[in-house]
Amino acid sequence: MIKVSDLKKEFIQGQERTEVLKGVDLTIEEGEFVAIMGPSGSGKSTLLQLLGGLDVPTAGNIVINQQQLAQMKEKERTIFRRKYIGFIFQNYQLLPTLTVEENVAFPLHADGSLTKEKNQMILELLDSVGLKGLGRKRANLLSGGQQQRVAIARALVNNPAVLLADEPTGNLDRNKAEEILVLMSKFNRENKQTTIMVTHDMFAAGFADRIILFKDGVIDQVIARKDNDYAQYVANFMA
Ligand SMILES: Nc1ncnc2c1ncn2[C@@H]1O[C@H](COP(=O)(O)OP(=O)(O)OP(=O)(O)O)[C@@H](O)[C@H]1O
Ligand SMILES: [Mg+2]
Asked if the structure places residue 37 within a domain, the reply is yes
Whole-number Å distance, alpha carbon 131 to ligand 2 midpoint, is 28
Asked if the structure places residue 153 within a domain, the reply is no
Residue 228 has what pLDDT? 67
Q: Give the closest residue (by CA) to ligand 1 atom 28.
A: 41
Residues 6+ apart with CB under 8 A from 18: 10, 11, 12
Whole-number Å distance, alpha carbon 45 to ligand 1 midpoint, is 7
Q: How many domains does the chain have?
A: 1
- DSSP letter at 88 equals E
Counting ligand 1 atoms within 8 A of each CB, the residue from 44, 164, 196, 200 with the most, and so the one to mutate, is 44
Q: Would the CB of 20 count as within 6 Å of ligand 1?
A: yes
Cβ(138)–Cβ(97) below 8 Å: yes
Looking up residue 203, the CATH number of its domain turns out to be 3.40.50.300
68 by Cβ neighbours in 10 Å (0-12 / 13-18 / 19+) ranks as exposed
Q: Would the CB of 91 count as within 6 Å of ligand 1?
A: no
Beta bridge partners of 19: 10
Domain holding 66, by residue range, is: 2-93+160-238
pLDDT tens for the 239 residues of the chain, in order = 999 999 999 999 999 999 999 999 999 999 999 999 999 999 999 999 999 999 999 999 999 999 999 889 999 999 999 999 999 999 999 999 999 999 999 999 887 778 899 899 999 999 999 999 999 999 999 999 999 999 999 999 999 999 999 999 999 999 999 999 999 999 999 999 999 999 999 899 999 999 999 999 999 999 987 776 766 776 777 77
Q: Give the closest residue (by CA) to ligand 1 atom 8.
A: 46
Residues 6+ apart with CB under 8 A from 35: 197, 198, 199, 204, 205, 207, 208, 210, 211, 212
Whole-number Å distance, alpha carbon 36 to ligand 1 midpoint, is 14
Cα 47 to Cα 57: distance, rounded to the nearest angstrom: 9
Closest-lying ligand 1 atom to the alpha carbon of residue 42:
21
Helices (H), the chain: 44-51, 74-84, 100-105, 116-128, 144-156, 174-191, 202-205, 230-238
* Sheet hosting strand 162-166, strand order edge to edge: 85-89, 162-166, 194-198, 33-37, 210-215, 218-224
Cβ(28)–Cβ(173) below 8 Å: no
Q: Give the closest residue (by CA) to ligand 1 atom 13.
A: 41
Asked if the structure places residue 31 within a domain, the reply is yes
Asked if the structure places residue 213 within a domain, the reply is yes
Apex CA 111: angle with CA 100 and CA 186, to 5°? Answer: 50
Give the closest ligand to the alpha carbon of residue 16. 1
Counting ligand 1 atoms within 8 A of each CB, the residue from 10, 13, 36, 45 with the most, and so the one to mutate, is 45
Asked if the structure places residue 128 within a domain, the reply is no
User: What dihedral angle (degrees, nearest 10) is formed by the CA atoms of 190, 180, 208, 123?
Assistant: 20
Residue 237 has what pLDDT? 72
Residue type, 202: M
Whole-number Å distance, alpha carbon 52 to ligand 2 midpoint, is 14
DSSP 177-237: HHHHHHHHHHHHHHH--EEEEE-S-HHHHTTSSEEEEEETTEEEEEEETTSTTHHHHHHHH
Closest CA to 158 of 108, 116, 118: 108
Asked if the structure places residue 134 within a domain, the reply is no
Residue 225 has what pLDDT? 79
Q: Which residues of 150-188 are buried (b: 16+ CB within 10 A; e: fewer)?
A: bbbbbbbbbebbbbbbbbbbbbbeeebbbbbbebbeebb
Residue 110 has what pLDDT? 80
Asked if the structure places residue 21 within a domain, the reply is yes
Asked if the structure places residue 29 within a domain, the reply is yes
Whole-number Å distance, alpha carbon 115 to ligand 1 midpoint, is 40
